[in-house]
Amino acid sequence: MILLAKDKKVNEQKDERSKLEKELFYEKKSAWDALREEKKMADKLGNDYREFIDNYKSEREIVDYAQKIAKKNGFVDIKDANPSTKKIYAINHSKNILLIELTNSPLEEGMRIIGSHIDSLRLDLKMSPVYEANPFLMINLHYYGGIKKYHWLNTPLAMHGVIFNKKGEKINVTIGEKEDEPVFVISDLLPHLEGAEGREKLAKDIIKGEDMDAIGATIPIEDKKIKERIKATFLKTMNDEYNITEHDFTSAELSLYPAIKSREVGIDYGMIGAPAHDDRICSYLGLEAMLKSESKKAKLLLWTDKEEIGSVGNTSMESMFLENIIEKIITLRKEKTTAKEVLQNSKALSADVTSGFDPKFADKMDPTNMNKPGFGVAVEKYTGAGGKSYGSDANAEYISWIREMLEEAKIPWQHGELGKVDQGGGGTIAYILAKYNMDIVDMGPPVLAMHSPFELVSKIDLYATFKAYKAFYEKK
């Protein structure tokens, strides 16, 4: 069909308008479009990531994984490092690890730091975790982190953790991850018995924290002289398997995690659904970026614990671990600087997930300041709640540097707030690293259904986030 002169003019005008738009308007673009040619690589990374999250859940397991990978890539335990060791790792109480790759330049010049957290939402066993409530042996739990309690009902749960027996020997426990192993479950009430009162319950009252106990056993032990025969079955089974007694639970760290493997979501396989993308995804991508980047700058990767309960405790971001290790390396290299100075001169990413836009809950977000799954890595200038309380607000100068880095590397990225103003809020480890006066900003993929047993992330955002972390380590 030929184009008529009249139509042509209209089109030219239209072009001119779009040119102006192009020049002046900010347009959020689909990362799928931007990275279409790299889809295979994104798929590959998604598969590798799934392998990781399907196999490593607790902080201890994740630290073990990192140690294994670190060693394989030539990193040396700080205890064995010498003044010329370039690749060092250090582990804090088995639940917190850092990897550092040094250069010949003085440490005083600062480092590139990517910090994330490896703890995730779960249900911890109490110190006295077993009681019989006929016809069941119940596992007494205390939830960890900000969960919607009802999410965890009728969800298969696997036990992960460690027990120290009377002799102080460490016993690793995993029950419920293999297909032929049993799982544990907190059963919900059937709808038939809910009644009007039950149906009108507030979400927070559907199950009380104290009632979140899981079924642990149901078959009474043969010996009828025993008073609590189902409890006896549970303890006997644990004893047969792990050689432990009831009292050994007091010196243990055991938790129930969703026994759910990752799956691809949508007919196009575009998303990955799994428990605890938050924040295993940024941790995994940070490590990948560290191993796959070429950098003239010293690189540091930090995996912290206890973020979900406010970064308190000796394995959290609030611990002195990071500072102490840097101090140790300075001493080792006989450099004339301090850990505080090194950290002050560093640039950092607080690598954590953010909320992704969900059309069903569109009213919770500001349409012009939100992150959409499939639109790339999200940069969050500030987090916090209310009037930005407890958010680390990154300097515009640093955002400008970050923006240049992302544009140079042609990485699709977006920016937004967690939700509407006064809708709620959240935080990360950013404000704690910011205490050292370093440049820091939050960056990670948007996630749907965060803190649920089946969180969703776009594969292309996962890939864009990896590229962003890599570019961060590599930028001059």
φ, ψ of residue 39 to 5 degrees: the values are -55, -40
Residue 455 touching Mn ion (CB under 5 A)? no
Residue whose CB is less far from Mn ion, 175 or 447:
447
Q: Which stretch binds Mn ion (CB under 5 A): 2-10, 103-111, 349-357, 456-464?
A: 349-357
For Mn ion (CB under 5 A), the number of binding residues is: 3
Span between the terminal Cα atoms of the chain, in Å:
52
Question: Tokens 């432990």 map to which residue?
Answer: 244
Question: Binding marks (x or -) toward Mn ion, 393..432, rule CB under 5 A?
Answer: ----------------------------------------
**Whole-number Å distance between alpha carbons of 240 and 242:** 6
Residue whose CB is less far from Mn ion, 235 or 353:
353
Those residues whose C-beta lies under 8 Å from the C-beta of residue 38, and which sit 6 or more positions away, are: 463
Which of the residues 263 through 292 are near Mn ion (CB under 5 A)?
A: 278-279
Residue whose CB is less far from Mn ion, 279 or 380:
279
Angle, helix 39-55 to helix 277-292, in steps of 10 degrees: 120
Residue whose CB is less far from Mn ion, 112 or 277:
277
Residue 295 is encoded by which pair of tokens? 């950098």
Residue whose CB is less far from Mn ion, 146 or 198:
146
- Give me the least distance between CB of 278 and Mn ion, in Å please: 4
- Give me the least distance between CB of 427 and Mn ion, in Å please: 9
- Give me the least distance between CB of 211 and Mn ion, in Å please: 23
Instruction: Measure the CA angle with vertex 107, ends 104 and 108; round to 5°.
Output: 130
Residue whose CB is less far from Mn ion, 233 or 383:
383
- Give me the least distance between CB of 403 and Mn ion, in Å please: 23
Q: Which of 352, 439, 455, 461 contacts Mn ion by CB under 5 A?
A: 352
- Give me the least distance between CB of 117 and Mn ion, in Å please: 6
- Give me the least distance between CB of 209 and Mn ion, in Å please: 18
Residue whose CB is less far from Mn ion, 278 or 417:
278
**Whole-number Å distance between alpha carbons of 395 and 10:** 44
**Whole-number Å distance between alpha carbons of 475 and 412:** 17
Q: Which residues, listed in sequence order, are joined to residue 389 by a DSSP beta bridge? A: 385
- Select from 289, 274, 283 the least CA-distant residue to 458: 274
**Whole-number Å distance between alpha carbons of 108 and 115:** 19
Which of the residues 319 through 348 are near Mn ion (CB under 5 A)?
A: none
Helix, strand or coil for residue 336?
coil
Residue 305 touching Mn ion (CB under 5 A)? no
- Residue 433: left if φ>0, alpha if ψ -120 to 50, beta else—which one? alpha
Residue whose CB is less far from Mn ion, 182 or 425:
425
Give the count of alpha carbons within 13 A of 297, CB side only: 24
Residues that bind Mn ion (CB under 5 A): 278-279, 352
